């Protein structure tokens, strides 16, 4: 088909107009999506004070100055639906896009602009947020430990819909003290008890169960003792932090003593055994207030989220602690890892 000079000019003018309009549309789309962060740089964080927030930064600094609410106890990368694991053995689903964005423009995460978990998700009476989990087809499964020493690996059975769902059947009077999403079965599952014992063994030694299962005995407890910490650790690099004190001072602000030791200082024992001593009590001490296992560098905070110091690393697995100046309420890692 041959075109006249006038027809060609008309078509070229129309094409130029279309190109211009497409450019305007592209600019509008870029503007509308400028606040969308790629999947691999969008984090959901939970602080030691129970604050939730969305942190969107491609850079992570481990050496920035301390701030309030900077002790992160759980962190996941997810652009959409995520789950909050609670002490009642439930997963409550939520949308990351509805969380407030925190630490904008900073490279060191904190939850100063976060929202209390109880104000963001529907928690029952006495229910607390323990950890975060992804809820995708790549979710590997969960590990949970209870106050009475039960351990469970749960298969990633994610029901349809957005209703909360249980991932462990708890016995009357028991509750989950620690939970995490596993990435594989090669991590160590770790229990710490209030009488100063630590037990760890490979996650692979615990057979996964369906969501309705009640778990199995994870650690042998002495009479009137209970678990204060459960989690998953890396034997080659993680640290153990413990805070000891007096039973009569648990409800007070008594600081007690603190100890930080490499996890590999503690020998691996079999599941359902009693573990080994992890903190030798000083005169007047008779209990562990709390314990923690995670990646270095470890940091601590008070119950209000104010920074608190931890002592230098002590290589002795059964050594005593260093007297603390402030009562520690939360311990976490500055290294965000899945």
Q: Is the pLDDT of residue 336 over 80?
A: no
CB 168 within 8 A of CB 192: no
Q: Looking up tokens 């920074």, which residue turns up? A: 307
Q: Is the pLDDT of residue 277 over 60?
A: yes
pTM (predicted TM-score)? 0.86
pLDDT exceeds 50 at position 26: no
What pLDDT is recorded for position 17?
Answer: 55
Interval 73-110: pLDDT, tens: 999 998 789 999 999 999 999 999 999 998 766 778 88
Among the residue ranges 13-22, 103-112, 192-201, 326-335, the one predicted with the least confidence is 13-22
Helix-strand-coil percent breakdown of the chain, rounded to 5?
A: 15, 35, 50
Q: Are 133 and 181 in contact (CB under 8 A)?
A: yes
Average pLDDT over residues 118-143: 96
Which residue matches tokens 């009077």? 173
Percentage of residues in the chain with pLDDT exceeding 70? 85
Q: DSSP class of residue 335?
A: S
Mean pLDDT score across all residues of the chain:
88
Residue 95 tokens, joined: 């949308």
In whole angstroms, give the CA distance from residue 44 to residue 46.
Answer: 7
Give the Cα separation of 44 and 113 in Å (integer). 13
């Amino acid at each position: 088909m041959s075109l006249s000079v006038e027809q060609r000019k008309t078509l070229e003018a129309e094409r130029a107009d279309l190109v211009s309009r497409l450019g305007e549309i592209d600019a509008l789309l870029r503007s509308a999506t400028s606040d969308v962060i790629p999947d691999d740089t969008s984090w959901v964080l939970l602080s030691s004070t129970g604050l939730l927030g969305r942190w969107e930064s491609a850079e992570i600094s481990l050496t920035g100055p301390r701030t309030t609410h900077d002790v992160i106890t759980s962190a996941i990368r997810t652009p959409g639906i995520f789950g909050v694991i609670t002490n009642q053995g439930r997963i409550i689903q939520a949308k990351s896009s509805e969380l407030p964005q925190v630490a904008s423009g900073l490279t060191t995460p904190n939850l100063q602009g976060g929202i209390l978990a109880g104000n963001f998700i529907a928690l029952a009476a006495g229910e607390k947020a323990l950890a975060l989990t992804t809820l995708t087809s790549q979710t590997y499964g969960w590990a949970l430990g209870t106050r009475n020493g039960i351990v469970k690996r749960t298969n990633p059975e994610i029901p349809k819909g957005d209703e909360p769902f249980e991932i462990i059947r708890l016995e009357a009077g028991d509750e989950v003290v620690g939970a995490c999403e596993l990435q594989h079965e090669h991590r160590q599952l770790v229990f710490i008890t209030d009488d100063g014992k630590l037990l760890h063994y490979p996650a692979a030694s615990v057979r996964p169960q369906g969501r309705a299962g009640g778990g199995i005995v994870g650690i042998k407890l002495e009479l009137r003792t209970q678990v204060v910490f459960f989690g998953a650790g890396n034997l080659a690099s993680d640290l153990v932090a413990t805070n000891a004190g007096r039973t009569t001072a648990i409800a007070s602000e008594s600081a007690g003593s603190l100890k930080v030791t490499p996890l590999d200082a503690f020998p691996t024992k079999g599941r359902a055994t009693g573990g080994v001593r992890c903190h030798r009590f000083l005169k007047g001490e008779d209990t562990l207030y709390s314990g923690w296992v995670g990646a270095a560098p470890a940091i601590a905070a008070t119950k209000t989220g104010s920074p608190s110091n931890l002592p230098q690393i002590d290589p002795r697995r059964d050594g005593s602690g260093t007297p603390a100046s402030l009562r520690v309420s939360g311990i976490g890692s500055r290294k965000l890892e899945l």
